[in-house]
Structure 1
């Protein structure tokens, strides 16, 4: 059965890269460019994993993680944060918000795909 991944990323190049990588590894992807649509799209798409940029316009990725984890239906879906924030304190803050995994940008393709596979 194909695993489904919701990708919340406002940067078009990163969004295309993530979708292309995951589709090449037989994942079904649902891109979301605006974080304000993420919760509704997660409910409609029912992903096995959410990949979340932290620096989003209009709403913080941290806020979205907390919102997803507070939702009775969505809280069990693992979240992998992908961000340019690379300090240890940033990772602690992101995991504290509820993300199960953290990958820093620029991504390592192998680490990215391995992290996704470990979560789904």
Structure 2
């Protein structure tokens, strides 16, 4: 089963994202901050990371840098999530190493299509 690591500190956003992913048929691993995410990346086989950019303790861009500089995780695709999108954010996140960018609140139809673009259809 395809495993997606969701790194999100807001419990409501985490629950919504997890519910959507599970309804699409993806496996989900949850991390409420960057340090937990790094631990999960060592423990689990992750196929894609959905990364909130504004996180406590270690922000999303710093976490992204650590992920991309580690041999065991550098090839995992990362999609940035943010509620406070500003002009130029998409270019900034892509140049930092993300493959794409999703603004919150999540557009449910667009979200599913984007996941399918990068992961294909989930296995039954």
Runs ≥4 in structure 1, deviation > 6 angstroms?
none
Q: How many residues align?
A: 119
Structure 2 equivalent of residue 33 of structure 1:
32
Consecutive unaligned residues of structure 2, counting only runs of 5 or more, are 120-124
Give the alignment's TM-score, normalised by structure 2.
Answer: 0.91
Aligned counterparts of 2:112 and 2:80: Cα–Cα separation in 1:
13
Deviation at 1:92, TM superposition (A): 1.3
In structure 1, list runs of 5 or more residues that go unmatched: none
Q: Shift of the alpha carbon at 1:44? A: 1.0
- 1:34: Cα distance to partner? 1.9
Encode CA deviations 1:28-52: one digit per residue, 9 max, x unaligned. 0011112211112112111100000
Alignment of 1:1-120 (within 5 A): 2-120=1-119
Deviation, structure 1 residue 89: 1.3
3-state SS of the aligned residue for 2:91?
A: helix
Query: TM-score of the superposition, structure 1-length normalised?
Result: 0.94
Aligned-partner SS, 2:106: coil
